Amino acid sequence: MKVELNNKVYTGKLLTSNKLKIKVKDKSDVIYFDAWQNKASYFSKKDYVKDVIFHTITETGVLKNCFPILSLNDDFVILNWDTREA
């Protein structure tokens, strides 16, 4: 599955029906995902979740209410979402 975030396209591995594992490409990605993840500590969910465009071989749509969880080693991020609309 591919997702569009931070003016980039990321290819990730679908782990479950609402989790995608994305390899972090460089330090700017770590900063972006870390800042987004840290908003969860200070804001309510409606203020830090985002809708993200996704592409698969058979469909294109929107992942609703996405939020990231950055790995401890900063080498990948798990993107979680509530619902998926094609």
For 75, the domain range is: 2-85
Res 24: pLDDT? 93
Lookup: tokens for 48: 């830090």
Reading the chain (86 residues) residue by residue, the pLDDT tens digits are 999 998 899 999 999 889 999 999 899 999 999 999 988 777 877 777 889 999 998 999 999 999 999 999 999 999 999 998 88
Number of separate domains in the chain: 1
pTM metric for this prediction: 0.86
